[in-house]
Amino acid sequence: MVKDSIRTGLSFGLTSGIITTLGLVVGLSSGTGSKSVVIGGILTIAIADSLSDALGIHISEESEAKHTTREIWESTVATFLAKFVFASVFVIPVLLLSLSIAIIVSIILGFSFLSIISFIIARQERARPSRVITEHLFVALVVIIATNYIGNLISTTFS
């Protein structure tokens, strides 16, 4: 059984890593059409946003004043590692495929990972998996649509 502190970090890091990176990949792709810009964005997210989210979890856990120092650090490290690894995974399709295909593959991968995580969370909470999965995929879809729109808007406005 996974400790609550690690579960907190993993679930936050995985979800944030997937949704944030998908939004970034879609937005940068539609805005620039450049593989190097998309890869640079993914690596930036993998490092900067992973550290930022880990610090956010760290401070949040500290502010609750109900966790041990060890639990706080477990959540912090789990958040960083989960977000870093899952954000970095999205570099692979961009490196190996054409950008347009890589975006489709990334969305499929992201939705698959998010569905699995959502299913596990629903089972732990004794909630209906279909409701939890649909809710989480809907949020991811909104992020993808919004970032695609913004990317296209920036591309047409500044080109």
Average pLDDT across each block of 10 residues of the chain; the chain has 159 residues. List them in order.
82 92 97 96 96 94 92 93 95 97 97 95 93 96 97 91
pTM: 0.91
Say which residues have a Cβ less than 8 Å from residue 48's Cβ, sequence separation at least 6: none
Q: What is the pLDDT of residue 5?
A: 81
Q: What is the pLDDT of residue 8?
A: 85
Domain spans of the chain, in order of start: 4-157
**What's the pLDDT tens digit per position in 120-143?**
999 989 999 999 999 999 999 999
Strand, coil or helix: what is 93?
A: helix
